Amino acid sequence: MSTYFGFAISDTMFSGDLTLRRRELNIEQVRELVDKGVISGINPSHKGTVNLLKELRLDVEIPKSPPNVQLGPGDELIVMSVRGLPRLTDRHQYTPEELADAEIEYSLWEIDTLE
């Protein structure tokens, strides 16, 4: 069983028939899981979110390139979701003001075999 940390979840992370469970976490629960050790699934090009992660002092490795995450039964994925940001259509980065107004939520996705 491995625990991953990322900014999003994608169908490409899975193969086969699986059951997913999702529950919300608070920052203290996230810190506990991160302190036990996580595998980074972070896309380093998401600089605004990476900066937020650093401000929160969550010790998650920032890889040089986006890793390919494959989740299987017994694995978990912590998702740090930044909400309330506008959809970017004409630029690739959020302003400091937009990030300051955003809300951060955390969830834990647990993967199991299809029952």
**Contact between 79 and 46 (Cβ < 8 Å):** no
Asked whether the predicted pLDDT for residue 102 surpasses 90, the reply is: no
Of 58 and 88, the structure prediction assigns the larger pLDDT to 58
Backbone angles phi, psi at 28, to 5 degrees: -65, -40
**How many Cα neighbours within 13 Å face the side chain of 96?**
1
* Model confidence pLDDT, tens digit, residues 71-94: 999 999 999 998 887 777 787 677
For position 100, what pLDDT does the model report? 77
Confidence at 114, pLDDT banded by 50, 70, 90: low
Confidence at 111, pLDDT banded by 50, 70, 90: very high
For position 39, what pLDDT does the model report? 97
